[in-house]
């Protein structure tokens, strides 16, 4: 065997070992087992960052042999001068995974400062998150209700790792340990922002200023006084808006020796693996403590993405309004280049029961447009000059086209003409933190009088435009103060206030 053939064999084995020990497990963000017809849904999701008060580390795993989890969570509030600091691995993984697999855009809401929390009180934090989601122009709100994890995960050796050890370093090409996470779980609730109810503050600053004025004994007026009274009694979901609750636990995860090693040839375990099965080594290293924490967080987020993509998702794909049963096919909706008007886009979606639909609105970056329905497609313009001549610079044409009824009941198609990079207008106001700039957001209202309901959907531009075109569009729509770009010149590199 390789381990017994003298110095030359050991040197040759060490060279092969160096190659094999660097072999780590690739863990892509994308999930590969969603249904073939699944694609990301057109929603901007605002994510409430996890804070220490929502987490619980159990004593499970104290007696286990292995690397402990290295989780660290921020407090609910932060010092204004020091900033909020980096988010935890779970929050970071939720953003990356959900945006890659499930939704068109996912952003983390900014937490309150210690001074803001003192004004609001713990009972007012849900009103703060609702206001932050509205300010970020989010369609949906995702809140982590609980995160439970043990001191250490359970693990055991793969039975074949001992057999492969006899073949030499080739054993390092295969997973040699399995980790189990029965004591770990993530509970989340998904809300529809337009249905949250409660005190309807449109921004965090307005909410905080009202509470500050009240605390100082200032005059708020009757309407704001009632809103201030409702802040401490409000809880997310108490007045509607709950779409679905989830609880996920990660499946077993396999690791290679290279995943646990981390330090390459500088590690004593690197050389020890010439003589000892790798499955017995590097089970408790500081490097692996960070690795198992990140991988478990990624797996939790992927399991949540699968729950959304594979479950009964009619509640989010084709939500029915409470007023007149308008149904919007979110999964089939798309933003494409227009075949009618050069240098323009079209937003298309299957709908059902559009009888009581009101005039839509459209947001592109910081610019908001009114939308006016035309009678038939012959009235659709053939150039952008015609659009501006007929409707003005801030109004867009739309058309509802009858179509043969599909199996899902959709019997009409909504078509909205959207300006391309050369024709968009500059917005009137800066975007708030968390509001994405490189998107098209559609707002629909149904009903009349006191019985109305609004919904919104957010479409990424990457399917319809090239990266330079998206950059040009973003630069044109944002006010001058927000058009500064980072060195990589990508729309996602906009300053925090414009992302």
pLDDT band at 482 (very low <50, low <70, confident <90, very high): low
Indicate if the pLDDT at residue 17 is higher than 70: no
The residue-averaged pLDDT of 305-309 equals: 86
The answer to whether 412 and 350 are in contact (CB under 8 A) is yes
Look at residues 281, 251, 253 and name the one whose alpha carbon lies nearest to residue 269.
281
Cα separation, 201 vs 124, whole angstroms? 12
The residue-averaged pLDDT of 368-382 equals: 82
Cα separation, 350 vs 415, whole angstroms? 9
The answer to whether 433 and 420 are in contact (CB under 8 A) is no
Share of the chain above pLDDT 90, in %: 26
Question: What pLDDT does residue 268 have?
Answer: 60
Share of the chain above pLDDT 70, in %: 82
Sign of the dihedral defined by the CA atoms of residues 273, 278, 281, 284, in that order: positive
The token pair at 346 is 């079209």
CA angle, corner 295, sides to 291 and 299, nearest 5?
170
pLDDT band at 97 (very low <50, low <70, confident <90, very high): very high
Question: What pLDDT does residue 485 have?
Answer: 42
Question: What pLDDT does residue 20 have?
Answer: 54
pLDDT band at 441 (very low <50, low <70, confident <90, very high): very high
Note the pLDDT tens digit of each residue in 378-432. 777 788 888 888 888 899 999 998 888 777 778 889 999 999 888 888 877 778 8
Question: What pLDDT does residue 215 have?
Answer: 79
Note the pLDDT tens digit of each residue in 376-387. 767 777 888 888
Indicate if the pLDDT at residue 348 is higher than 90: yes
Distances (CA, A) of 184 to 18, 63, 300: 34, 16, 9
CA angle, corner 33, sides to 313 and 292, nearest 5?
105
Q: Is this structure's pTM higher than 0.85?
A: yes
Question: What pLDDT does residue 337 have?
Answer: 92
Q: Which range has the top average pLDDT, 191-195, 196-200, 482-486? A: 191-195
C-alpha distance across the termini of the chain, in Å: 59
Using CA atoms of 404, 405, 408, 412 in order, give the dihedral in degrees to the nearest 10. Answer: 70
The residue-averaged pLDDT of 47-53 equals: 90
């Amino acid at each position: 065997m390789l381990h017994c053939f003298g110095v030359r064999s050991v040197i040759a084995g060490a060279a092969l070992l160096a190659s094999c020990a660097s072999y780590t497990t690739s863990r892509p963000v994308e999930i590969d087992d969603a249904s073939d017809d699944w694609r990301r849904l057109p929603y901007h999701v605002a994510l409430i960052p996890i804070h220490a008060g929502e987490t619980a580390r159990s004593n499970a795993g104290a007696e286990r042999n292995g690397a402990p989890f290295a989780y660290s969570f921020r407090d609910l509030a932060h010092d204004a001068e020091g900033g909020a600091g980096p988010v935890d691995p779970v929050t970071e993984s939720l953003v990356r995974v959900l945006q890659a697999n499930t939704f068109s855009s996912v952003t983390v809401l900014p937490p309150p400062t210690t001074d803001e929390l003192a004004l609001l009180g713990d009972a007012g934090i849900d009103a703060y998150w609702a206001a932050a989601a509205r300010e970020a122009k989010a369609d949906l709100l995702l809140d982590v209700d609980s995160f439970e994890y043990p001191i250490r995960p359970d693990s055991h050796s793969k039975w074949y790792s001992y057999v492969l050890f006899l073949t030499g370093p080739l054993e390092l090409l295969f997973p040699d340990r399995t980790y189990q996470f029965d004591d770990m779980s993530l509970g989340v609730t998904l809300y529809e922002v337009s249905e949250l109810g409660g005190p309807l503050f449109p921004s965090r600053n307005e909410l905080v200023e009202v509470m500050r004025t009240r605390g100082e004994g200032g005059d708020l007026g009757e309407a704001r006084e009632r809103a201030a009274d409702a802040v401490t009694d409000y809880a997310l979901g108490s007045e509607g808006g709950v779409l679905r609750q989830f609880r996920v636990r990660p499946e077993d995860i396999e690791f290679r020796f290279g995943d646990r090693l981390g330090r390459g040839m500088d590690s004593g375990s690197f050389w020890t693996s010439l003589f000892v099965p790798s499955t017995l080594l590097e089970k408790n290293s500081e490097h692996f403590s960070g690795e198992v924490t990140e991988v478990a967080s990624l797996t939790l987020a992927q399991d949540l993405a699968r729950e959304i993509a594979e479950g009964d998702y009619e509640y989010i794909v084709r939500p029915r309004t409470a007023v007149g049963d308008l149904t919007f096919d979110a999964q089939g909706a798309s933003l494409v280049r227009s075949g009618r008007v050069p240098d323009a886009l079209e937003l298309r979606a299957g709908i059902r029961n559009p009888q009581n639909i009101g005039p839509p609105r459209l947001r592109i970056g910081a610019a908001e447009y009114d939308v006016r329905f035309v009678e038939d497609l012959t009235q659709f313009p053939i150039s952008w000059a015609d659009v501006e001549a007929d409707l003005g610079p801030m109004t867009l044409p739309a058309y509802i086209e009858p179509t043969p009824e599909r199996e899902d009941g959709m019997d009409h198609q909504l078509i909205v003409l959207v300006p391309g990079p050369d024709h968009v207008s500059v917005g009137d106001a800066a975007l708030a933190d968390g509001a994405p700039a490189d998107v098209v957001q559609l707002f629909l209202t149904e009903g009349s009088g006191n019985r109305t309901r609004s919904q919104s959907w957010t479409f990424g531009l990457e399917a319809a435009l090239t990266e330079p075109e998206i950059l040009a569009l973003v630069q044109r729509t944002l006010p001058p103060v927000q058009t500064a770009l980072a060195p990589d010149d990508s729309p996602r590199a906009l300053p925090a206030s414009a992302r």
